[in-house]
Structure 1
Amino acid sequence: MMMNKQVKQALLHAKDTRAVFFASGALTQVGETFAATFPGAKAQIIADENTEAVAGEVARKSLSKAGIDLCEGLCFPAHPTLYAGYERVSEIVEVLARTPAVPIVIGSGTLNDLVKRAAFELERPYMVIATAASMDGYTAYGASLAKDGHKQTLPCPAPLAVVADVAVLAEAPSAMTASGYADLLGKVTAGADWLVADALGVELIDNRSWSLVQEPLRISIGQPEALARGDLKTIELLVEGLLMSGVAMQVHASSRPASGSEHQFSHLWEMEGLGRNLVPPLSHGFKVGIGSIAVAALYEELFESDLCAVDVDACCRAWPSFADLEDRARQAHPLLGDIAVAQLSGKYVSGEGLAARLNRLVEVWPKLRERLLDQLLPAIKLRDMLKVAGCPTTPEEIGLTREELKASYSRAQMIRSRYTVLDVAVETGLLDSCVEKLFAPGGYWASDS
């Protein structure tokens, strides 16, 4: 089976993944792909009852046809829904350690992350058979797991091979496909945040990883109506966008190409367990979708401000010491204070450093503003696209009050060291006033909107 041309080209620069096949019927090529990627190796399948029912039989037949020996694996029950807790990694490691086989995980977000980390701890490569177009983590470095009381990204390589049968993905619950769409739509605001960090000299854009995400993005997110209908070609475009985002993170050895302030909202809510006890649990993508709208709305308020007229001296006089900032972080995050303080320490600058950054902002803002306007979509447009695709578009739909969302603007800025538009708003002293406008009558998040 031939690899998609764009993905094949992208893999030339990937650090881990060597083979990605996605097309209708790709599941029948699992054995051939495994044999070519892991010559002479035995295989061991990790799945749950749902993913086993969807793809297990065909995958096993394909492996058998290719002469691959299968060792006894592990199949989790369908209920309760598997949670990405680190204790599950230990359980998988125990099973995998019984043989020298290469793990094959059949599943999506949680299962993939659990096996990804387990394989890493045993210093083994692994393969994934995708069962839903629900997130961009299939080809991404790292696993998002709950450890030591909070959700965090643990280091581990991406899979050596990925097989994604578009016909199988199209049969996944529509909410999972919608979640993948929301995750991919978040690359719009993530790209804007990288433009900001690049223009201010905080984190320069890597053109290769930028293009892997941004070049196919508008096509991949451009047909939410067809996606909601289950159109196979549109699902294939979504999958391509998600896979390319994951590869970009491999290339850059960081999630920066695919994750900005919209993910900081999502990470905050995930760390606090928002929607964890729902059946099924609230998806990562749906939280990212609300975060994307929130960030786009903030950008629009900043565009209404004249950042060329920022009073740099006044901002520096108002700039808190790190000790004061630590106090604020602990008050804002009673349960996550240590994490917030550690992350803030990674991006805190002195008054002198702040002055240099703000002077640069004043200088570059006219051109940067134009680049941001070209990159972004209006918050209302993002909302409409998400709604058509079947995603939540209001905080209440994901279990948040307007007041909780309002507080999230400042709280999200504290829980990641990545520089984003939230930091621009904080450093210019405009965050509070912008957020007040967003929630005031006539603002985007007004209670009657």
Structure 2
Amino acid sequence: MNLEQIQKQVATCSCGNLHYPITIEQISASEKVWQSVVEFVQQKQWRHLLVIGDVNTQMVGYSPLKKALMTVGIDVSIVTLSPNKQGDVLADELSVVQVMLELDDSVDALIALGAGTIHDVTRFCAAKAKIPFLSVPTAPSVDGFTSKGAPLIIRGKKITYQLVSPIAVFIPSDIIRDAPRALIAAGVGDMLGKYTSLLDWRFGAFDGQEPFCPVVARLTEIALSDCVKALPDIYAEKAEGLDQLMDSLILSGIAMLIFGHSHPASGGEHHLSHYWEMDFLTHDRPAVLHGTKVAIATMELIDTYRAMIQEQSDVPKELGDWVTQMPTRQKLESIFNSLQAPLQPEEIGISSLLLASSKREAYRLRKRHTLLKQMSLQTSHFETEERSL
């Protein structure tokens, strides 16, 4: 991935929107990535680093990271985020406070060692402490590693804060390739959700006059397309497939970073996912992987979205062209079945009542002009008319 070439593409864009610079200085992926971390830290002349992880990521990555840094005299310690009573580590106020209590003036930078939740907590704490952070992903499960967005659960509500991106990303390829299958399937789910998020973004620009950038959209399309091409190798858990999945997730995050918001990669499918997550928290239920929820939500929306666009006669050609590229629900079910992932809402504990309420109300979680919003408003209008008859 050539960040300089991406910057040049963005520089030629005439969409008129603000494009944020890519502040990531380095992205490295290898089985010997720990030496790259050491070299980067030495260049920065940092002396004390604080790692943010959980029990699982501490087991798979902290020992080699600590050994590499301490061998050259760099002090490193870790905050192991505590799980809640359901056994889940959450990106919430408690996790943020746990980190901030360990963060003193001697810390030069933070290291996010893990997947989405750990990156969200680290990003928030780094921004508030005004220090940089390094990204060290341990699973190809989400696309938020390189973005500025930190979705946090504040008093039970999912709120996304636009903060800072990592100053560098170091991907331990051996750990990524050995990730649990459920996390791999979640990463594919987060990527295939781009089919509906990109349609929502285009629809929002057409019908709601929301800002849109064709260059950023194209970067997201490339990330999605490359992931889809790699699916046979991902099914087989081949190194090439898992490396490409990670590359696609990283590129999707960079697209969000450039645009400054999550529009390219987060539409109605993410709004449903966030709604379900908040309901699970309210009822003290165990968490479900973000990408797993996104996959289920995408399957719930994709055929309806296609029909909504095809029923309109005045939509721009690019919307019509995009829906012809989108897979059917049946095709998505085939993909996730190959990944041994859940296919139906009830498989992850989403009842028919919760599904129905989320389709009515989840659009309210974000100020976005999406097809989910239009679908919800049309349903509400139809139900009101029926009651008045």
> TM-score by structure 2 length?
0.86
CA distance in 2, matches of 1:151, 1:243: 23
Amino acid of the residue matched to residue 388 of structure 1?
S
Q: 2:357 aligns with which of 407, 431, 435?
A: 407
- Structure 1 residues 138 and 88, CA gap change in structure 2 (3 angstroms): same
Which moved further from structure 2: 242-251 or 106-115? 106-115
- Structure 1 residues 385 and 156, CA gap change in structure 2 (3 angstroms): same
CA distance in 2, matches of 1:207, 1:410: 30
Shift of 1:225: 4.0
Question: Secondary structure in 1 aligned to 2:212?
Answer: coil
Shift of 1:185: 0.7
2:6 is equivalent to residue 10 of structure 1: yes
Shift of 1:242: 0.6
Question: Secondary structure in 1 aligned to 2:170?
Answer: strand
CA distance in 2, matches of 1:394, 1:139: 30
- Structure 1 residues 87 and 394, CA gap change in structure 2 (3 angstroms): same
CA distance in 1, matches of 2:105, 2:41: 20
**Hey, what does 2:13 align to over in structure 1?**
none
CA distance in 2, matches of 1:403, 1:48: 34
2:132/2:167 contact within 8 Å kept:
yes
- Give CA-to-partner distance per residue, 1:107-134, whole Å, 9 cap, x none: 1111111111111111111112111111
**Hey, what does 1:206 align to over in structure 2?**
213
2:104 is equivalent to residue 108 of structure 1: no
2:177/2:243 contact within 8 Å kept:
no
Amino acid of the residue matched to residue 43 of structure 1?
L
**Hey, what does 2:369 align to over in structure 1?**
419
- Structure 1 residues 275 and 296, CA gap change in structure 2 (3 angstroms): farther
Q: 2:175 aligns with which of 157, 164, 168?
A: 168
**Hey, what does 2:75 align to over in structure 1?**
70
Amino acid of the residue matched to residue 326 of structure 2?
L
**Hey, what does 1:340 align to over in structure 2?**
none
2:261 is equivalent to residue 254 of structure 1: yes
Alignment map for 1:83-102 (pairs within 5 Å):
83-102=90-109
1:174/1:228 contact within 8 Å kept:
no
**Hey, what does 2:151 align to over in structure 1?**
144
CA distance in 1, matches of 2:34, 2:238: 19
CA distance in 2, matches of 1:137, 1:420: 21
Q: 2:45 aligns with which of 39, 57, 67?
A: 39
Name stretches of at least 5 consecutive residues in structure 2 with no aligned partner.
9-19, 384-389
Q: 2:131 aligns with which of 120, 124, 127?
A: 124
Aligned residue pairs total 370
Amino acid of the residue matched to residue 307 of structure 2?
E
2:156/2:281 contact within 8 Å kept:
no
1:275/1:399 contact within 8 Å kept:
no
Question: Secondary structure in 2 aligned to 1:230?
Answer: coil
CA distance in 2, matches of 1:147, 1:156: 16
CA distance in 2, matches of 1:182, 1:286: 6
**Hey, what does 1:51 align to over in structure 2?**
57
CA distance in 2, matches of 1:401, 1:165: 38
Amino acid of the residue matched to residue 173 of structure 1?
P
Alignment map for 1:2-401 (pairs within 5 Å):
4-5=1-2, 7=3, 9-10=5-6, 14-36=21-43, 38-65=44-71, 67=72, 69-76=74-81, 80-200=87-207, 202-273=209-280, 281-303=287-309, 305=311, 307-308=312-313, 364-365=314-315, 367=317, 370-401=320-351
CA distance in 1, matches of 2:6, 2:93: 31
Shift of 1:432: 7.6
CA RMSD in angstroms comes to 2.6
CA distance in 2, matches of 1:196, 1:375: 15
- Give CA-to-partner distance per residue, 1:306-344, whole Å, 9 cap, x none: x33xxxxxxxxxxxxxxxxxxxxxxxxxxxxxxxxxxxx
Question: Secondary structure in 1 aligned to 2:246?
Answer: helix
Q: Could you tell me the percent identity over the aligned residues?
A: 25
- Structure 1 residues 204 and 410, CA gap change in structure 2 (3 angstroms): same
CA distance in 2, matches of 1:276, 1:403: 14
Shift of 1:152: 1.5
Amino acid of the residue matched to residue 340 of structure 2?
G
- Give CA-to-partner distance per residue, 1:215-234, whole Å, 9 cap, x none: 23112133434313321110
CA distance in 2, matches of 1:104, 1:276: 32
- Structure 1 residues 412 and 78, CA gap change in structure 2 (3 angstroms): closer
Shift of 1:93: 1.1
> TM-score by structure 1 length?
0.75
CA distance in 1, matches of 2:188, 2:23: 25
